[in-house]
Structure 1
Amino acid sequence: MIIRKEVNSRMSKIVEHNGIIYFAGIVPDNTDMDVQEQAKRVLEIAEEKFVAAGTNKEMLLRAEIYLKDIDRDFANFNKIWDEWVSNENPPARACVQASMSSTSTLVEIIFTAVKI
């Protein structure tokens, strides 16, 4: 059985199958900020989505991180990430540079987690 949440004509923002939860890319809802503030907001939004999906950051399997300018923003992003991520249960992670859907978006993260 597949459960889809926050569905529109283009996508589902949360999809659950066999106890695994897949989240669509999460971007900040305010892009008039630097990468650290955008990262904080993305992680706040992520935690709201985790609750809606029945999981939490301790149950993360994978994080795919996209930065608009990895050379400029990698270290500053990691300061926020390192404060947020579980030290006991960190997910597998990739961090790459990518063109974004808007010119002012500096970070996007895709998560995969296990349902609690």
Structure 2
Amino acid sequence: MAKIERHQKDEKLSRIVVHKGTIYLSGLTADDRKADTAGQTRQILQKADALLKSVGADRSRLLCAQIWLKDVADFDAMNKAWVVWLDGAEPPARATVGASFALPDIRVEIQLTAAGS
């Protein structure tokens, strides 16, 4: 049976799960929720960089991204921050949808899957 590694976990979730060389990040949100959608997106992607690095990967290893937006009218603002962050890396498969969040100041949430090294 393949080992499952769980990192940065608490009673409700693991921030990172690694299984058979695939890295799964939980949904990430911004710490400074007063920021606009682009600002929250940049914060989330910084977190993603740190989490991926902690398990020996980086954004070049991305396989899939799921993005939820509080307001789909912010799609272009989020996308601009996303493209800058990719910085020429091959883009993953991706879906972006509108969503309502349990906390009203969350404007965006991003979940990522990556290949291990």
| TM-score, L = length of structure 1 | 0.95
Contact 1:67 1:97 in 2 (8 A): yes
Q: Percent identity?
A: 37
Partner of 2:39: 37
Partner of 1:106: 107
Structure 2, unaligned stretches of length 5 or more?
A: none
Match of 1:56 among 55, 58, 69: 58
Contact 1:28 1:39 in 2 (8 A): yes
State how many pairs are aligned. 115
Query: Per-residue CA shift, 1:82-109, capped at 9, x if unaligned?
Result: 1112534110000000111310110100
**Secondary structure of residue in 2 paired with 1:38:** helix
**Letter matched to residue 114 of structure 2:** A
CA distance in 2, matches of 1:10, 1:49: 18
**Letter matched to residue 17 of structure 1:** H
Structure 1, unaligned stretches of length 5 or more?
A: none
Matched, 1:89 2:66: no
Dislocated runs of 4+, deviation >6 Å: none
| TM-score, L = length of structure 2 | 0.94
Moved more, 86-95 or 45-54: 86-95
